[in-house]
Amino acid sequence: MRCTRTSIAIAVTLLLGTLGIAGPKRPAPLSGDQLLARATATPGLRSYAVSVKFAVRLHKPLGMRTTAVGAAYFRAPGSSALTITKAGGLAGAFFRGTYKIDVIPQAWPASYGVLSVERGLSGGRAVVVLHALPRTASPDVTAVTFTLASPSLTPIAAEWQYGSAAQTIRITLSNRRTGAYLLPQAATISVNLPKYALDAAATYGAYQLNAPVPDSVFARTR
């Protein structure tokens, strides 16, 4: 009697099961920290500097529109800073300075640990949402959320919550290919905190990849 391919496959399956030999295993799903690391990975990128222009609409402590110019800096594994060098109008003194603001995705894995992973839809597209907290205890930040496009895992948004859910800083990112890396091209920033509130549109200039960034840039953040 001829053995069909189906019968042979069944026999082999039964034999493997009898011998305790398992079939090929599916790879284990990535952890939240692994997802964040993969989403922001830039192998070989040690640092960068990029100019940034802002169109700002200030809501609090006073209502006005203004512009600002500055630069964002990153140095591996997790140092980041934003320096505002020029701001127009009465808001000039308010904005100028260097800030440790995590608008740079490459700095996220070193600064935050992911607690849970959620998959869903945002604006009609599939996303992966990572719920995280700072790795070093913070008296201010009570929750952090990173949103990644799926399946590419491109960072597209982040939100920091300070105290209550009404006190937040949120950024939405638009990315572009720069050399071998996918880096932010533009961003919208929304700040809602007790002392000030604003919305801003940021446009990034030309990146200086692996440019030296002095320690002083990160030392003077506030």
Query: What is the β-pairing status of strands 168-178 and 155-162?
Result: antiparallel
CA-based nearest residue to 52, from 96, 84, 92? 84
11 phi, psi to nearest 5 deg: -65, -45
Task: Tell me, yes or no, whether 94 lies in a domain.
Answer: yes
Q: Please give the pLDDT value at position 123.
A: 83
Task: Tell me, yes or no, whether 185 lies in a domain.
Answer: yes
CA-based nearest residue to 184, from 204, 170, 161? 204
Question: In which domain, by residue range, is 99 found?
Answer: 25-219
Q: Please give the pLDDT value at position 16.
A: 45
Q: Please give the pLDDT value at position 1.
A: 45
Count structural domains, the chain.
1
Task: Tell me, yes or no, whether 194 lies in a domain.
Answer: yes
The answer to whether the CB of 31 falls within 8 A of the CB of 114 is: yes
Task: Tell me, yes or no, whether 14 lies in a domain.
Answer: no
Backbone conformation region of residue 153, classed left if phi is above 0, alpha if psi is from -120 to 50, else beta: left
CATH assignment of the domain containing 165: 2.50.20.10
Task: Tell me, yes or no, whether 111 lies in a domain.
Answer: yes
Regions in the chain scoring below 70 on pLDDT: 1-27, 90-94, 101, 220-222
